[in-house]
Structure 1
């Protein structure tokens, strides 16, 4: 007879477990002591990441959300090794019969033919250009990008077509592509937003364990701005009683690093994330768990998540209103968001259907 063991934090991972409350479970999994050493498992040993192939037949994903300033995006990877415990993309792994917990950050799927698919889609006579966001769901510069270089291949196609792009990332690796982004930025068709949640290195280690450190993200911002790339920061998410007190400091550091714009998002806990986040709080901040969740509920109509358009990214109530006022005041003080961020679409020219084919003109 085996005895079920409690879940424990693993070195270098954000989720404490594979959420048992996944919406589409085909099987239940639990850590047990079977008498063969399970109880002595080394939780400090790195958990291996496995990279598979994403067989999607299209590169561009379209949305109709009124809450975001774009209607299309490209996600070179499904799953994200950064392991951010609050990541709103985690529930998408449930559709792959995998857990939004540890599976999401250890089972990664790479869309290796993304550039080829994108080229074909942009070349269609019916295609109308509008800003494409890279990183709307999972990070396009997570660790596997160093080897796969899928994001860079996508940027090559977008640059060839003079197609506008906005990148959202938590990884300093984005500075690797400053050569492409600087040329696109000079044409008004590229922008980078570095997502920086905290300046506390230890908090970042548990919140987003495999993202680059906050200091390196600020360094990447400086490098991009020095190269002439339009770039800003997203202080996202703001978590009550965990990092919300850092808002003004984050924006001040962003301005000092050269950021020209900023944004913020309130913590969201849709689907399985609410259980994963509660589990994370119990592990890392047990003394604040009730306080954090109660404040989230106060901003979400008594629930841990509210999907209503218009309020899901900002929340409602006194605390949410105060957070918004603090953000706007800090942006004004540091000269952020003074310029528009609209990107040009008039330069777009469909790329050659075959990237190996040279133009005759």
Structure 2
């Protein structure tokens, strides 16, 4: 019997040490073997929801190559378990691992709607689009229980404030009623992440996300209801989904998407170790090839923190990927574009209703 069986339904297969801690916890092979022989569970693989109490909910984004000025996250950690997720490293700031802890220790901010409303009512606040899910998905499984994202959308609607959403979960359709109201005043756009047309690829890369079929249906339904949709082909991973750029672009355009965006995968911080461990267990036949091709896009490293190149990469493989995306835009999105969000209404609604004078 294999003393190290795959952890089902999870992306990461280990907990990397937290860089801020001197001590680390290790699951030893002899303990796992003992549990296997005794028929005991070494790891119950349960998700825990832990409430936290932040003082603010909206963050200013200073990065020059991220297309947002402000973001907010109702949850820290994400049960979707996407193996490549850049947000994993942020879980270390909360005292957890970027590996399995990121997927199984979900921090819940129940006060988010109240904090958001306090900000939007401030006389000093000037309307700028706020992106929900700048770090972790606002429609991850926890949202089914807590409904914090829906409450925040109600606040945005009340104060006629522009908001953008990034998600890979069809749960967003639950809130179609609010999204349609926001769309009437051009206060909403949605970015749906679709990284592959293959369910086999989706299951190993993003184990607890909505199926590809559900995501394409989401793009179609949102578009048919007048809600602008951009599709994130992100990240592009050489030799895993890089061959799908053109068919992906064609499919999402036909579903109603107005545009596409992409990044090339980079594995900063603990993500390099987590991804390497995962791919050697999941795709051993091409693990070295994929890792070397990722390195070739980032100056010989798996990680890349250089502004200007970290998102698009460099070298021949990165150039091929970027050229394919340009071709896809020309071929499938000619004459399409995402509308600019409306920032002109909020000042009149700062008290929650239209000012009369």
Summarize the alignment of residues 1-361 of structure 1 with structure 2, pairs less than 5 Å apart: 7-20=4-17, 22-32=18-28, 33-34=30-31, 37-40=34-37, 47-335=45-333, 338-349=336-347
TM-score (norm 1): 0.92
SS at match of 1:184: helix
Report the Cα offset of residue 46 of structure 1: 6.8
Number of aligned residues: 353
Instruction: Verify the 8 A CA contact 1:112 1:150 in the aligned structure 2.
Output: yes
Report the Cα offset of residue 360 of structure 1: 8.9
* C-alpha RMSD over aligned residues: 2.2
CA distance in 1, matches of 2:318, 2:201: 22
TM-score (norm 2): 0.93
CA distance in 1, matches of 2:42, 2:230: 35
CA distance in 1, matches of 2:32, 2:285: 34
SS at match of 1:89: helix
Higher normalized helix content (fraction of residues): 2
CA distance in 2, matches of 1:43, 1:342: 52
Instruction: Verify the 8 A CA contact 2:163 2:188 in the aligned structure 1.
Output: yes
Report the Cα offset of residue 206 of structure 1: 1.1
Q: 1:191 to 1:43 in 2, by over 3 A?
A: farther
1:198-241: CA deviation from partner (whole Å, max 9, x where unpaired): 11111111111001111101111111111111112101110011
Unaligned runs of 5+ in 1: none
1:148-177: CA deviation from partner (whole Å, max 9, x where unpaired): 000011111111111111100010011111
SS at match of 1:232: strand
Q: Which moved more, 1:179-188 or 1:217-226?
A: 179-188
